[in-house]
Amino acid sequence: MKLPPGKIPIDILKEVVFKNLGATRSEVTLGPAAGVDGAVLDFGNKNAIVSMDPITGAVERIGWLAINVNANDVATFGVEPAFFFSCLLLPENADSKIVETISAQMHTAAKELGIAIVGGHCESTPGLANPIVVGCIMGLTEKGKYVTAAGAKAGDKLILTKSAGIEGTAILASDREAQLGKIFNPEILESAKGFYKQISVVKDALTAYRAGGVHAMHDPTEGGILNGIHEMADAAGLGARVFEEKITVEPETAKICRFYEIDPLQLISSGALLIAADPQAADKIIDALCQEHIYADVIGEFNPNPNKRILMHKDDSAEMLPRPVSDHLWIALTR
């Protein structure tokens, strides 16, 4: 089976990856699971939350993204990210300037979030065309003081912060600037490139968790908002009803997606946060986020039937919630 671009399909995770996990250790409270982006380890009176993500692409911001994207995964547990390990894989023709650039980006981003960079590895890798930064991040919390992406309950309200396709918009505006510049005015492209500034959800997640009533959180990355909802529903064994008109799509995202004929709801959406909340706490959580100048709204709710995942359109028609085969960023990059 040839793999699609991006994350490998969930059936391969279940049938292959999750069946090859080495030794069983009592410290592992939560190991690999579909839809869950981190592990939970038991260290006595403390739990450690650990996650890992790779970043590929241009040197321009790869180190900054490595910190922020990994930090998001720990923050969705309601835990402050604290310690970062990096593995820098560089092309054969790389020079010391690339190492300096990436390291400086990671330093700046980590300092902003209060994260210590505590170790890692760096090498020039034969056969590699572009740099890759693999990050591993940890956070510590009092025992049991966390949520997971699998914690949603039937009847929970589904809250979304910010908008759909944030990271995908920024990537396309940056990587396809020459192409898009022939269609859109410079102000639109500059604004779209600025979406990178929204990619952290650390404040979103910690604010929501501290407000109370949060059962689960997940940052929708590859596959966008729709895939993120499926991942939360998969992890909890639930269904969902989602209202398309409640999902914010910024004008820059809408224009770029129309040009490439892709769906903004299936475009990589780092920077947004999905929250499953007790219905009685939803307004309190949204108010807390708004006080931090983070836009949020209820976009749907979870139900007990995992086969009932519905997307309600603006005209009151409905369809089964689409499950992305791969992120629509990959479609756009081929056009």
Domain ranges within the chain, ordered by starting residue: 10-142, 157-333
Please state the separation of Cα 263 from the chain's center in Å: 17
Q: What is the pLDDT of residue 11?
A: 87
CATH code for residues 10-142? 3.30.1330.10
Quick one: pLDDT band at residue 192, thresholds 50, 70, 90?
Answer: very high
Quick one: pLDDT band at residue 189, thresholds 50, 70, 90?
Answer: very high
Residue 20 C-beta-side C-alpha neighbours within 13 Å:
5
pLDDT at 178 over 80: yes
Q: What is the pLDDT of residue 9?
A: 85
Cβ-Cβ contacts under 8 Å for 297 (sequence gap 6 or more): 159, 160, 246, 248, 286
Please state the rounded mean pLDDT for residues 20-43: 94
pLDDT at 34 over 90: no
Quick one: pLDDT band at residue 167, thresholds 50, 70, 90?
Answer: very high
Q: What is the pLDDT of residue 335?
A: 87
Q: What is the pLDDT of residue 156?
A: 98
Q: What is the pLDDT of residue 235?
A: 92
Quick one: pLDDT band at residue 48, thresholds 50, 70, 90?
Answer: very high
Q: What is the pLDDT of residue 60?
A: 83
Q: Give CATH superfamily name and number for 157-333.
A: PurM-like C-terminal domain (3.90.650.10)
From the list 201, 110, 217, the residue with the least C-alpha distance to 159 is: 217
Q: What is the pLDDT of residue 36?
A: 87
From the list 55, 47, 18, the residue with the least C-alpha distance to 34 is: 18
pLDDT at 6 over 80: no
Alpha-carbon distance of 9 to 264, in angstroms, equals 20
Q: What is the pLDDT of residue 87?
A: 98
Which residue would you say has higher pLDDT here, 138 or 9? Answer: 138
pLDDT at 299 over 80: yes
Residue that has been written with the tokens 């969902």 in this structure: 240
Q: Write the pLDDT tens digit of every residue in 87-104.
A: 999 998 899 999 999 999
Quick one: pLDDT band at residue 228, thresholds 50, 70, 90?
Answer: very high
Instruction: Work out the percent of the chain whose per-residue pLDDT is above 90.
Output: 90
From the list 265, 147, 255, 291, the residue with the least C-alpha distance to 205 is: 147
Helix (H, G, I), strand (E, B) or coil at 173: helix
| Eight-state DSSP code of residue 270 | B
Cβ-Cβ contacts under 8 Å for 99 (sequence gap 6 or more): 88, 90, 122
Quick one: pLDDT band at residue 297, thresholds 50, 70, 90?
Answer: very high
Quick one: pLDDT band at residue 283, thresholds 50, 70, 90?
Answer: very high
Cα separations in angstroms, 307 against 4, 77, 158, 266, 314 = 24, 26, 17, 20, 22
Q: What is the pLDDT of residue 59?
A: 74
Q: What is the pLDDT of residue 10?
A: 82
Alpha-carbon distance of 159 to 155, in angstroms, equals 13
Please state the rounded mean pLDDT for residues 299-310: 98
Quick one: pLDDT band at residue 291, thresholds 50, 70, 90?
Answer: very high
Quick one: pLDDT band at residue 35, thresholds 50, 70, 90?
Answer: confident
pLDDT at 8 over 90: no
Please state the rounded mean pLDDT for residues 38-57: 94
Query: What is the overall mean pLDDT for the chain?
Result: 95
